[in-house]
Amino acid sequence: MSPIDSRLGVPRRVVVLAGSGGRPIEVAGREVVAVRESWLVEDRWWTGEPLRRRYWEVVTVAGDNLVVFRDLVAGGWFSHR
């Protein structure tokens, strides 16, 4: 095994408060003021470990532009940046 943890952009767990329809209201304690885009990613559905994510690109009250997603298979919210 390499000592280098090499993958970039690995999802990190984040606390998200969601409203109706799963729309994020608060990300890491900061209020969401705008949702710029939302999309669904489905992958590896042909394997025993399917991947389903609902992505949200949001802007918080602090001005951060964040991409968060909800894991629709295992549950939980994650952030990429």
- Summarize as ranges the residues that interact with another protein (CB under 8 A): 1-11, 41, 43-44, 51, 67, 80
Longest dimension (CA), the chain: 44
The residue among 4 and 74 lying less far from another protein, judged by its C-beta, is 4
Q: Cβ(37)–Cβ(24) under 8 Å?
A: no
The residue among 3 and 75 lying less far from another protein, judged by its C-beta, is 3
Angle at 38 between CA 71 and CA 42, to 5 degrees: 45
The residue among 23 and 44 lying less far from another protein, judged by its C-beta, is 44
The distance of closest approach from Cβ of residue 20 to another protein in the complex, given in angstroms and rounded to an integer, is 26
